Structures are given as C-alpha cells and as structure tokens.
Structure 1
Amino acid sequence: MSGRGAPITLPRRRWIARLAVLVVVAVLVIAPTGGRLYSFPQTDTLDDGETVDAILALGGRTETAFYGQQLAEQGRTKVLIVSNPYPTDDPAFQPVHDLCASQPTDYRLICFRPDPMTTRGEARALGRLAGENGWDRVAVLAAKYHISRTRSIVDRCYDGDLLMVETPLRISPFNWTYQYVRQTLGYVKVAAQRGC
C-alpha cells in the first residue's frame, strides 16, 4: 500500500460528481446563450456618410480609443468621448493618455475617468453628457464580446438612438474563453442592479 494515496471516500466522490454535473450544466447553458450574446451579438454600423452626435469609446481596450479617433477623423462625429480608466504610470497605456492630451481641430475630444470604473460608470457619464449637450444619436464602441451587455447597461442611462459598434479586434481563443465567463458573471451583476 505504500506509495498510494488515501482512497477517495464516498462523500468526496459525491462532491466531485456534483461539481462535474454543475460544470457540464454550466457549459450547456453558457455555450449556446454565450454564442448569441458574445460571439454573434446584434451590432450596428456607421455606413459611409452616416454621422452621430457623439461617439463613446469604452475603456478596457486601447484599440477602441484609436478606432474612435479614426471614425472622428473620417467625419462620423463632431464629438469623440474616450473613457480613460488607465493608470498613468503604465507605459502600455501612454498612447491613450497622449490621445487625451491632444487637441484635435476637426472634432471635440472629451476624455474622462469613469466613476465607478466600470461600464456602468461609462454609461452614466454618457447619459449626463448627452443630457447636457442635447445629443439624440450616439454610437458606443466596444469589443464584440462586450456589445450585448454594454447595450443593456447604456440603455438604462441614455434614452436616445443608440448604435452599438464593434471595435475591430483580433481576439485569441484564450481570451474568448475568459470573456465567456467574465461577461456571464457581468450579466449576473447587471441583473442585480437597478436603474442607471
């Protein structure tokens, strides 16, 4: 018997079996639902010549800020709003800080630090700015996996015409797996919250 571990007891086997069933059920529920919400969400586009009152580039991916800048430079909006929750001492985010420090002449640039530093904080800022400026039509830029949940959050804070536009990104298989879990947990949080 030396060299062998202790035998698995019956209560431990039951716990392992229950955990395995829970994992299988979670996969069976999350995979099809997540596919619709995260991999193939309802997205909008800004067609050639189409404009909006403002574009909000969500934080979390630096590519989103630069995609917003590209759209503003193409004349799709006169106002670019950039959520900038990034730490100032991290060189990886310096390009976004440089963008926020720039002074474009063809459009108005608004950078802000969301409070709280979540999509909800970003949606609140958008709702406040839209009310102050009379914006009736805005576009929000987000990663594909974040589109559906963002729409449900922004809809609580903004009453106008909302376009959810996908930021073009290359997303690794590992990140897809991570985002399925993260976004699902985020939906649980959204369901528990009320109002904007």
Structure 2
Amino acid sequence: MTAPRGAVTSLPARRWPRRLAIFLVVAVLVIVPTGGRLYSFPHTDTLADGETVDAILALGGRTETALYAQQLVEQGGASVLIVSDPYPTDDPDFQPVHDLCASKPTDYQLICFRPDPMTTRGEARELGRLAQENDWDRVGVVAAKYHISRTRSIVDRCYPGTLLMIEAPLSIRPLNWTYQYVRQTLGYVKVALQDGC
C-alpha cells in the first residue's frame, strides 16, 4: 500500500538509531584527528632566553594563565602585562587574578580590562586597540593549549603585528579534554560565521 500523494512519510523507528550511530562515527572520525592537531598538539611559540615582546596578554578563563603571563613578564619577557579579567568579583577561585589586577608593580606596566564582549573576540579587540595606541609590533598571548589555535585565528583578525601564542602550563583532566574538543569545535564554527575583528 502506497501513501497518498502529498503525505509525509517517516522512516521506521528502527532506522533512527542506525543513522544516529553512523553520524556519531563520522563525527568522531572527523573531529578527533582534526581536533588532535588543533587542540592537543597546536603550533605554539616560546620566548627564548633574552627574547622579548612589547606586551604579553593573559586570556581570561584560567587563573593559571594570568599567573604564568605574570611570571614571563617578571622574567623580562615584556615590559607590559595585560590581563583579561572577566571573572565575578565574589568568586574565590579567581581571587588571585583580582589581587594581581589590584597590585601596583614597579618593574613593568600592568593593564587589566574587562573584555567586551566577554569572549576571546573581546580580548582580541582590546589587544588590537592597545597595540595600535602604543605602536606594539610584537606581542605574546598566553592561553590554554586547547585554546591556542582558535585564539590565533581570532587575534590575527584584530592585530596585524607579530603574534606569539604561548601555552600556559596547565594540568588538563581527560574529561575536560572531551569537553574542550566539543567547545572549541563549536567555537570554530562561530568564528567562521563572523566577519572582521
């Protein structure tokens, strides 16, 4: 018996699990190898002994990122430390960043800002603005390993100078890696849909 003309037919219920399984296998086969190169083994830069940049930006997201960027600046890697501080003021996990931003270092210039929007794009825009204002032609950006590749693609849109993407030494749990593969992949889709800085 055939369905009447114009009627909507649906697949038998037993085909959906199979199609979903095929989709998931294809997604894993695409995301894992690509994600491995982009998230687990990204191209990173380092500051060699005696090498300097005009400024080092610590992306928001992890307290350890800000503290590592501070360490690099205090070791002579730059004369300016820029810290993105999108964190809630009442969250004790981020108190070290708030304390850093409240400090008054004498050996280097400290610039803290709240990104607008509160995303990597907002951080890249502020870096681009500061670089233009201060004639910086070489900057470093400190980020978590899984965020390096996507950050590079975003910052490149806002900053035309030499960019060093520096990996913060973080301990990342396996479950967080799974989450980051999904999050960073969705983030790449968002970047692809956005124009300019």
TM-score exceeds 0.5: yes
The 5 Å alignment of 1:36-185 reads: 36-185=37-186
Amino acid at match of 2:162: D
SS in 2 for 1:26: helix
Q: Displacement of 1:107 after TM fit?
A: 0.3
Q: Does 1:26 align with 2:22?
A: no
SS in 2 for 1:41: coil
SS in 1 for 2:13: helix
Whole-angstrom distance in 2 between the partners of 1:89 and 1:12: 50
Amino acid at match of 1:138: V
SS in 2 for 1:155: helix
Deviations 1:133-161 (A, max 9, x none): 00000000000100000000000000000
Amino acid at match of 2:150: R
Amino acid at match of 1:91: P
Task: Give the gaps of 5 or more residues in structure 2.
Answer: 1-10
Deviations 1:10-38 (A, max 9, x none): 72221211111111110000010000000
Runs of 4+ residues deviating >3 angstroms: none
The equivalent of 2:8 in structure 1 is: none
TM normalised by structure 2 equals 0.94
Q: Between Structure 1 and Structure 2, how many residues are aligned?
A: 188
SS in 2 for 1:109: strand
Q: Displacement of 1:81 after TM fit?
A: 0.2
Whole-angstrom distance in 2 between the partners of 1:91 and 1:182: 25
Task: Give the gaps of 5 or more residues in structure 1.
Answer: 1-9
Q: Displacement of 1:53 after TM fit?
A: 0.1
Whole-angstrom distance in 1 between the partners of 2:91 and 2:174: 26
Percent identity over paired residues: 82
Q: Displacement of 1:103 after TM fit?
A: 0.3
CA RMSD in angstroms, aligned pairs only = 1.1
The equivalent of 2:36 in structure 1 is: 35
Whole-angstrom distance in 1 between the partners of 2:63 and 2:53: 22
SS in 2 for 1:169: coil
Q: Displacement of 1:185 after TM fit?
A: 0.4
Whole-angstrom distance in 2 between the partners of 1:11 and 1:94: 55
Amino acid at match of 1:48: D
Q: Displacement of 1:45 after TM fit?
A: 0.4
Amino acid at match of 1:134: D
Whole-angstrom distance in 2 between the partners of 1:45 and 1:92: 27
Deviations 1:93-143 (A, max 9, x none): 111100000000000000000000000000000000000000000000000
SS in 1 for 2:12: helix
The equivalent of 1:16 in structure 2 is: 17
